[in-house]
Amino acid sequence: MSTPHSSLPSALQGLFSRSPLPPLRPSKPYDSALTPVITGLSSQYPASVISGLHLLNDDIDNAHTVAQAHEGDQSCDTWHAFLHRREGDYWNSGWWIARLSHPLLLKFANAESMSKAKADAKSFVSACERIGMGRSEGEILEKRQYDQLRELCDWDIEHAK
């Protein structure tokens, strides 16, 4: 079965099947050699995909630069909320979540209203804050985070067509 990210260069496919799971709060990019590969896709993919790929690579700084430059784009704003959660700027993540309207938030929270989806997203931020730099029991939070990152990136690729 083909996934939206299968259209990306083969060098980036590993970002979608990482083991072990990415940390809640990365201390450095997963693979710094991927940074120029991701940046080089800027003419082929929208900013939201580029920001998302950087975040999947645990590259907070580059993800932030791209997301911030495209403030107002619903996906870039979602990446902005996610990256602040991953860098440990939990208050700022919550601030961005309050402004989100991305349809995937409803799916992530299994909610029928955006207010419930936002409350769930903020609760997830709080759970990540309690863990800090550690690992959650059974890596439940890491799995949830990684699933969200991959799904949002695939959504952005699919909707870029």
Query: What pTM was estimated for this model as a whole?
Result: 0.96
Segment 55-104, tens digit of pLDDT: 999 999 999 999 999 999 999 999 999 999 999 999 999 999 999 999 99
Q: What are the residues whose beta carbons fall under 8 Å from the beta carbon of 11, sequence distance 6 or more?
A: 34, 37
Segment 124-155, tens digit of pLDDT: 999 999 998 788 888 999 999 999 999 999 99
CA distance 18 to 104: 22
Tokens (6 digits) for 109: 């929270």
50 touches 38 (CB < 8 A)? yes
User: What pLDDT is stored for residue 54 in this prediction?
Assistant: 99
Q: What is the CA radius of gyration of the chain?
A: 15
User: What pLDDT is stored for residue 133 in this prediction?
Assistant: 79
Instruction: State how far Cα 158 lies from the chain centre.
Output: 16
